[in-house]
Amino acid sequence: MIIIEDDRRILNLNHMAIYLMLTAEEMAAYKDKLKTLNSFRKLTRGIFRFEIVEKGDTPYEMLPKEMTRTVTNCNVLVRLINSIHSIYCYGLDTIDLKLDEQELRAELSSIVDDVCKKNIKQMDILCERQTSTSIHAVREYRAINIVRDTFEDALEGIIQKKSTIEQVETFGKTADMKESLELVKGTTSDQFNDKIERERAGRVKPDTHPSISITVSDVFYEDKKGHKKKSKGFVFKINDDVISVPFNKIDQTMLYSSVLMASVNGIKLRRNDFTEFSSTDKKLWLKKVFSALRFDEKFEDWFEKINRNGPAARINDAKSKINKALWDRLPNEHKDAYYYCLLVTKNDHTDKSEYVVRTDKNCIHIADNIMDRLD
């Protein structure tokens, strides 16, 4: 396995995904043979997931130089645990896709063993380092002993319980499986490069801090037919430029407005507050916000819809759409403001997870007509 260290921390991949990167011709020839790999628990050890990605021919230019060369020739990619906090670490390898199914699984099983061994070694180095950054990294890899034990068990073929797997999948503040897959697609395809840049812009604090204010207000926009329309939205003042952002969807407008208003009022707003487990007080507050924004729908009907396919399922979807819309609307000269405007989850994957926007609450404003209705 070839180890690549990335001091710019470009790809925040999920540690539990192993990516098989195939050319278009290989996809046609071998995809059917590979798509059943995740059904073999002795291979995945119950913690890893194989993802098949079609490989483009344009390596992302911001990747480490040795990686832009290697990713073209290798067809296996995995993110390893980094032994130094300030870097990311990737492993690349090659398997012979022409092998029969049994031989192929044996080759991949050997790679899985290698990944586990390297992760255990990296964690040992990380724990032995007594620098401030290594201590911070150990904290970032929550439940580090559980994670290490899980990799050791995987080497012995022990299948973990579901609860343990969930802890391991979310350690180290990595991207979830869906987002991680999109990032890998961008490593060799121009079509997905923007996803890599957006994810990193939301994760890495920019060198400059632009002057930012956000106002919840009515905004005007042009629809696809060029007609001017008015909608609830957000006015961003970045340095001296004013940018209006209408989301045009109740879920997105309600979520972003609620988070901004909660920040102004010193209220902690959690994902749980959008589910049936919401406290009476918090649900009443959300209803006030909903009424103040004057949507053409009853709050009770909307609340039922966002939970129809699972607890706050549509709220999860709204969060990603909000951030994509913000990124798309911000001009290139103001992309550094994205870090402060996007919607993030503080203490993610815990009972104390909280929706926040990094802009200072003193720079968040609510239009008077909306505030009057909220009061």
**What are the extents of the domains in the chain?**
2-203, 212-374
Geometric angle at alpha carbon 138, from 135 and 142, rounded to 5°: 140
> pLDDT, tens digit, for every residue of 170-182?
666 788 888 999 9
| Residue 165 token pair | 């797997």
Residues of the chain with pLDDT under 50: none
Question: How far is Cα 303 from Cα 214, in angstroms, rounded to an integer?
Answer: 26
Alpha-carbon gap, residue 334 to 336, rounded angstroms: 5
Burial letters 336-369, b for 16+ CB under 10 A, else e = bbbbbbbbbeeeeeeeeebbbbbbeeeebbbeee
DSSP 8-class letter at 205: P
Do 85 and 133 meet the contact criterion of CB atoms below 8 Å apart? yes
pLDDT attached to residue 109: 96
Q: Report DSSP letters for 160-179, one per residue.
A: PPHHHHHHHHTGGG---HHH
pLDDT at 164: 65
Please check whether residue 118 is in contact with residue 100, taking contact to mean a CB–CB distance below 8 angstroms.
Answer: no
Task: Compute the Cα dihedral for 68, 119, 163, 202 and give only its sign.
Answer: negative
The DSSP H or E segment spanning 313 is: helix 313-329
Decide: 45 and 83 in contact? Cβ < 8 Å: no
Render pLDDT for 10-66 as a digit per residue (tens, 0 to 9): 999 999 999 999 999 999 999 999 999 999 999 999 889 999 999 988 889 899 988
- Residues 98 and 26: their CA atoms lie apart, in Å, by 10
Check residue 348 and give its pLDDT. 63
- How long a stretch of residues is the chain? 375
pLDDT at 158: 82
Q: Which conformational region is residue 46 in: left (phi greater than 0), alpha (psi within -120 to 50 degrees), or beta?
A: left
Name the pTM for this structure. Answer: 0.83
Sign, CA dihedral 280-301-245-338, equals positive
SS3 state of residue 300? helix
Contact yes or no for 215/355 (Cβ under 8 A)? no
Q: What is the pLDDT of residue 56?
A: 86
> What phi and psi, each to the nearest 5 degrees, are found at residue 2?
-90, 130
DSSP secondary structure of 45-107: TTT-EEEEEE--S---TTS-HHHHHHHHH--EEEEEPPSSTT-EEEEEE---TTS-HHHHHHH
How far is the C-alpha of 79 from the C-alpha of 99, rounded, in Å?
A: 25
212 φ, ψ to 5°? Answer: -130, 135
pLDDT at 118: 93
E strand map for the chain:
2-6, 17-22, 49-54, 76-80, 88-93, 212-222, 228-238, 241-245, 343-346, 354-357, 364-366
Q: What is the pLDDT of residue 32?
A: 92
Separation between Cα atoms, residue 55 and residue 58, nearest integer Å: 9
